[in-house]
């Protein structure tokens, strides 16, 4: 009887081992089928193949706490996790059956990973990791490549893990130069493309480069991750970072002081509160906000600062820039009205309407962008080229700014381009009017001369200097960097000087008129 029991237990053991082996072999066969599809470039079946592999790994039976399967271009790992999960670190150097020719990689999962799933229904969970050593399964429509051609993915059962307070760390080591490239950590976003089964997106991921040979991705969700390498259009020489930073800090500090002083002086001189002065003060307020937030941007872009703080500052900085550009356009519009209406301008609640445009339109655009795509703001990496040829990975500078290329193209370059173009047209039209007056030999008079200085001062200083942003290419790059940095970091100070000159001139004209009036009274 005892012998029958022993024989029965042996049969059960053999059967279970055979079932486990068959399940593992089924997953391996599926992985080899995926390799064949990758060679044949059958992109229509990629999503079905990956979903099929995920389903088999979630359902496979195995003894112990983990299972590892690997083919030439795919490696899978399966872990059994409990609600007492304390974190997990996976390093390719410690994994079995990893080729020495493959670049090293790692994934670190925080203890928070299982908390949400265990809160609803405590149970045993299964974590699957799928590593692709090829980019064939994730074709994209953009002109970019993946670092090492690696895609590292992870999934916790059938749960959607997102918005983790402690990020998942994914490390990619490499032995190639990144000079001339911009690197960004991205994840595969399904259903975001009409032609592919997904696209690469940087949402929820932060890129760090601790050393020239490592890229570290900190992401707050589970998905398939990679490092996207794009050719930089105009990398800044690393040697120019220090002087440009110094010029920016000094210039913006001077402008902040000048703008603040101008606003305080205007508050003290109540008699100057006409519509033109109100427009000037709103422009100075936007300049003050722009320079102050810019000075804070680099400090809050450090990895130790929470991402939410950097996102908020980036949104405020974008709002300040849009407001400054809008008030520049309002200055041009007001000068145009002054010349057309021959100083007889009256619009009901004119300043209030201008404020609604100058502050309301930028606020609406930024709030709409935050509601639709808040990931467009955050830590923006500025690529630097290394003249020594040692790579650029550890030299990249960063600031809290717009991260999305599309948003930057439309709501920064496009918005600024329209503003500069409008002010340049106003300047050209004003110069044409002045030329006609001179041809007719009609002296414009003291007030017309004063408005001529207004047109030249405001439109040139505010419009032309910002137009330098469109010359950041080729041989114009280095001169443009210094000219743009100098003029636009100090232009709050230039405005302060211009307003002081205007007020001194006005006071001199008033004194001259009073002297003339006194002389006429004495003669009588």
Q: Which pLDDT does position 5 carry in this prediction?
A: 39
Q: Which pLDDT does position 106 carry in this prediction?
A: 94
**Is pLDDT above 80 for 473?**
no
Kindly tell me the burial class for residue 272, based on how many C-beta atoms sit within 10 Å of its own C-beta (0-12, 13-18, 19 or more). Answer: middle
Q: Which pLDDT does position 193 carry in this prediction?
A: 63
**Alpha carbon of 128 to those of 110, 153, 156, 167: distances in Å?**
15, 8, 6, 18
Boundaries of every domain in the chain: 8-231, 238-381+398-515
Provide the token pair at 150. Answer: 């690696």
CB 236 within 8 A of CB 386: no
Angstrom distance (rounded) from CA 349 to CA 356: 11
Q: Which pLDDT does position 17 carry in this prediction?
A: 43
* Side-chain half-sphere exposure of 234, counting CA atoms within 13 A: 12
Do the two domains 8-231 and 238-381+398-515 of this chain adopt the same fold? no
**285-330 confidence digits (pLDDT tens):** 999 999 999 998 877 877 667 778 888 999 999 999 999 999 999 9
DSSP string of 325-354? Answer: HHHHHHHHHHHHHHHHTTT----TTHHHHH
**353-379 confidence digits (pLDDT tens):** 999 999 999 999 999 999 988 878 887
* Degrees to nearest 5, angle at CA 269 with 266 and 271: 115
Provide the token pair at 139. Answer: 């074709």
| Average pLDDT value for residue range 385-411 | 67
Enter the CATH code of domain 8-231. Answer: 2.60.220.50
CB 436: neighbour CB atoms within 10 A? Answer: 10
Task: Could you please state the CATH topology (level 3) that the domain comprising 238-381+398-515 is classified under.
Answer: Rhopdopsin 7-helix transmembrane proteins (1.20.1070)
**Is pLDDT above 90 for 512?**
no
Beta strand 236-237 with 384-385: parallel, antiparallel or unpaired? parallel
Where is pLDDT greater, at 70 or 301? 70
Where is pLDDT greater, at 403 or 393? 403
């Amino acid at each position: 009887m005892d012998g029958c029991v022993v024989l029965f237990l042996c049969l059960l053991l053999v059967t279970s081992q055979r079932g486990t082996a068959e399940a593992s072999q089924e997953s391996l066969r599926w992985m080899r089928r995926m390799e064949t599809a990758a060679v044949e470039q059958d992109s229509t079946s990629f999503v079905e193949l990956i979903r099929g592999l995920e389903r088999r790994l979630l359902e496979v039976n195995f003894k112990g706490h983990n299972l590892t399967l690997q083919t030439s271009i795919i490696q899978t790992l399966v872990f059994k996790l409990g609600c007492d999960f304390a974190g997990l670190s996976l390093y390719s150097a410690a994994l079995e059956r990893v080729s020495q020719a493959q670049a090293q990689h790692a994934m670190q999962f925080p203890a928070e990973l299982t908390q949400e799933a265990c809160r609803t229904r405590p149970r045993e969970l299964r974590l699957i990791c799928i590593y692709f050593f090829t980019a064939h399964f994730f074709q994209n429509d953009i002109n970019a490549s993946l670092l090492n051609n690696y895609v590292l993915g992870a999934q916790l059962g059938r749960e959607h893990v997102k918005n983790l307070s402690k990020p998942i760390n994914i490390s990619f080591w490499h032995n190639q130069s990144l000079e001339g490239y911009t690197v960004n950590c991205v994840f595969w976003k399904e259903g975001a493309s009409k032609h592919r089964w997904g696209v690469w997106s940087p949402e929820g991921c932060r890129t760090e480069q601790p050393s020239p040979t490592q890229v570290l991705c900190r992401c707050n969700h589970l998905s398939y991750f990679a490092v996207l390498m794009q050719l930089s259009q105009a990398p800044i020489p690393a040697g120019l970072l220090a002087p440009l930073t110094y010029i920016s800090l000094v210039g913006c500090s001077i402008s902040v002081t000048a703008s603040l002083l101008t606003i305080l002086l205007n508050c003290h001189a109540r008699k100057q509160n006409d519509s033109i002065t109100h427009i000037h003060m709103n422009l100075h307020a936007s300049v003050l906000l722009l320079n102050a937030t810019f000075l804070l941007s680099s400090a809050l872009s450090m990895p130790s600062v929470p991402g939410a703080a950097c996102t908020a500052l980036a949104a405020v900085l974008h709002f300040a820039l849009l407001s400054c550009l809008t008030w520049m356009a309002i200055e041009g519009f007001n000068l145009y009205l002054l010349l057309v209406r021959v100083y007889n301008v009256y619009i009901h609640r004119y300043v209030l309407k201008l404020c609604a445009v100058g502050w309301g339109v930028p606020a609406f655009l930024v709030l709409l962008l935050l509601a639709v795509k808040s990931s467009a703001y955050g830590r923006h990496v500025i690529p630097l080229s290394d003249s020594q040829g040692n790579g650029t990975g550890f030299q990249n500078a960063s600031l809290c700014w717009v991260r999305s290329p599309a948003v930057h193209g439309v709501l920064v370059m496009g918005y600024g381009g329209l503003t500069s173009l409008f002010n340049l047209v106003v300047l050209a039209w004003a110069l044409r009017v002045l030329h006609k007056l001179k041809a007719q030999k009609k002296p414009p008079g003291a007030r017309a001369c004063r408005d001529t200085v207004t047109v030249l001062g405001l439109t040139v200083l505010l419009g032309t200097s910002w137009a330098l942003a469109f010359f950041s290419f080729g041989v114009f790059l280095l001169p443009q960097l210094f000219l743009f940095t100098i003029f636009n970091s100090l232009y709050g100070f230039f405005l302060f000087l211009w307003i002081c000159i205007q007020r001194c001139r006005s006071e001199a004209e008033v004194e001259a008129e009073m002297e003339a009036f006194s002389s006429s009274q004495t003669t009588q």
